[in-house]
Amino acid sequence: MQGDVEAIWRIESPKLIAALARLVRDVGRAEELAQDAFVAALSQWPSEGIPRNPGAWLMTAAKRRAVDLIRRERTLDRKNEELVRAIEAQDVPDGYAAVDEGIGDDMLRLMFVACHPVLSREARVALTLRLLAGLTTAEIARAFLLPEATVAQRIVRAKRSLAEARVPFELPSSTELRDRLASVLEVLYLLFNEGYAATAGDDVLRPDLVEDALRLGRVLAELMPAEAEVHGLIALMEIQASRMRARVGKNGEPILLLDQDRTRWNQLLIHRGLRALERAERLGGALGPYALQAAIAACHARAATAAETDWQRIAALYDALAEIAPSPVVELNRAVAVGMAFGPRAGLEIADALVDEPSLKTYHLLPAVRADLLLKLGRKDEASAEFERAAALALNVRDRALLRNRAAAAASPL
């Protein structure tokens, strides 16, 4: 039963925190109330059974706790009395995350609140992933390639800063929306990536996070239809999400892109992604970082087979991406593309230059990429050692197993 409750919490907590933050107007308190509701569920559900609508149950429990806490305070000023009345007046509809006319979604509203300029860019992203993606501090640290303690400190300070600045939980002006857009887009893509390729745990995919990212992205596109990068990000997510059915084998093992059965790719999502990419390009955003990544994804989507992939175009797109949004991860992806387009030796040269990059020291994909390129060059012993190193760094159980199998295959004399 505890496992079932924890699984429900993982799915429901972001929506619960977003709705509570709108009601109590305090991010830290919203998270505490949600956790109190979870503790109540752990206490009651084993004997009473899981309710038909667990999200609504959790919201009701959290609201009751909120009212109790506010009423226990020594002095209730008019603002607190109004807050109590507002909370009590709120109905809890089926699914409880009621659509708000202003921004269209509680979760998206909270994203913009958490991306307030009073916070640093890094704090905005970390806080939003913690509250709205339900990611653990360790998962966020993995996504940023940072120590866990650093991320934990950012989250604590961010919640304190929002409370001290009395940031209003309301829709920002159009100018403020635009100013915060880059952080919101980054959060959405990190949220999507954690669902599309889980950094830890027993499963390759976390479909609930992918669905949340897609839904929020589509709401954002309606809110800001003239922003090219919004459509670029949607294009990227839609096309990548199209591969989800083909990414996992019958036993839950990950299937690499070039080995996937492309007949299982979702053509509707590909079509939606290509349309969004065209819209981004019409708006003048062809060279935006998300649009460029979407164009790379489109190269794969348009290839009927892996052999038909236009790797030279992909390498050129990565060259452009490295110019406008340089990062060690982009450079590693460029190494893969260059290796496919111009031979493994050229790709390995790029990957080798990243070996001493501090942010990639614990990133399992660096040795995995090097191993693949070494294997193609016939350097099997070195490849096997690099696959083993990658497996030791991987936090996801399925990724670790795949890498160990590849290490064994590389070491085999056959």
- Of 200-214, 325-339, 354-368, least confident by mean pLDDT is 200-214
Q: What average pLDDT does this structure show over 227-251?
A: 95
Query: From start to end of 178-300, where are the E strands?
Result: 200-201
Q: Which residues neighbour 1 within 8 Å (Cβ) at sequence distance 6 or greater?
A: 45, 46, 50
Strongest mean pLDDT among 80-89, 182-191, 394-403 = 394-403
More confident residue, 122 or 302: 302
Residue 97 confidence (pLDDT)? 39
Percent of the chain with pLDDT over 90: 48
> Residue 352's pLDDT band (boundaries 50, 70, 90)?
very high
> Is the pLDDT score of 76 beyond 60?
no
- Of 70-74, 254-258, 341-345, least confident by mean pLDDT is 70-74
- Of 84-88, 213-217, 337-341, 398-402, least confident by mean pLDDT is 84-88
> Residue 79's pLDDT band (boundaries 50, 70, 90)?
low
Alpha-carbon gap, residue 186 to 144, rounded angstroms: 11
Handedness of CA 51, 56, 62, 67 (dihedral sign): negative
Q: Is 236 exposed, middle or buried (0-12, 13-18, 19+ CB in 10 A)?
A: buried
Q: What is the pLDDT of residues 353-385, one digit of tens each?
A: 999 999 999 999 999 999 999 999 999 999 999
Residue 348 confidence (pLDDT)? 98
Q: What average pLDDT does this structure show over 168-173?
A: 70
Residue 263 confidence (pLDDT)? 96
Tokens 């999507």 locate to 192
Global pTM reads 0.76
Q: 233 in the Ramachandran plot: left (φ > 0), alpha (ψ -120 to 50) or beta?
A: alpha
Residue type at position 270? I
> By three-state DSSP, how is residue 395 classified?
strand
> Is the pLDDT score of 224 beyond 60?
yes
**What's the token pair of residue 64?**
């009751």
Residue 128 confidence (pLDDT)? 79
Residue 99 confidence (pLDDT)? 34
Residue 102 confidence (pLDDT)? 38
- Using an 8 Å Cβ cutoff, are 232 and 297 in contact? no
Alpha-carbon gap, residue 22 to 110, rounded angstroms: 8
> Hey, where are the domains in the chain?
1-98, 327-414
> Is the pLDDT score of 245 beyond 90?
yes
Residue 206 confidence (pLDDT)? 85
> Is the pLDDT score of 250 beyond 50?
yes
Residue 104 confidence (pLDDT)? 45
Cα Rg of the chain, angstroms:
23
> Residue 52's pLDDT band (boundaries 50, 70, 90)?
confident
> Is the pLDDT score of 18 beyond 90?
no
> Is the pLDDT score of 56 beyond 70?
yes
> Residue 42's pLDDT band (boundaries 50, 70, 90)?
confident
Q: What is the pLDDT of residues 333-350, one digit of tens each?
A: 999 999 999 999 999 999
Residue 81 confidence (pLDDT)? 62
Domain spanning 327-414: which CATH class is it, in words?
mainly alpha
> Is the pLDDT score of 130 beyond 80?
yes
CA–chain centroid gap for 3, Å, is 23
- Of 94-108, 328-342, 345-359, 399-413, least confident by mean pLDDT is 94-108
If you average pLDDT over every residue of the chain, what do you get?
87
Helices 174-196 + 121-132 axis angle, to 10 = 60
> Is the pLDDT score of 201 beyond 80?
no
Q: What average pLDDT does this structure show over 221-249?
A: 94
Integer CA distances (angstroms), 32 to 5, 133, 209, 381, in order? 17, 16, 22, 51
Residue 28 confidence (pLDDT)? 85
Residue 179: count of CB within 10 angstroms of its CB: 14
Residue 111 confidence (pLDDT)? 79
Q: What average pLDDT does this structure show over 69-73?
A: 70
> Is the pLDDT score of 96 beyond 70?
no
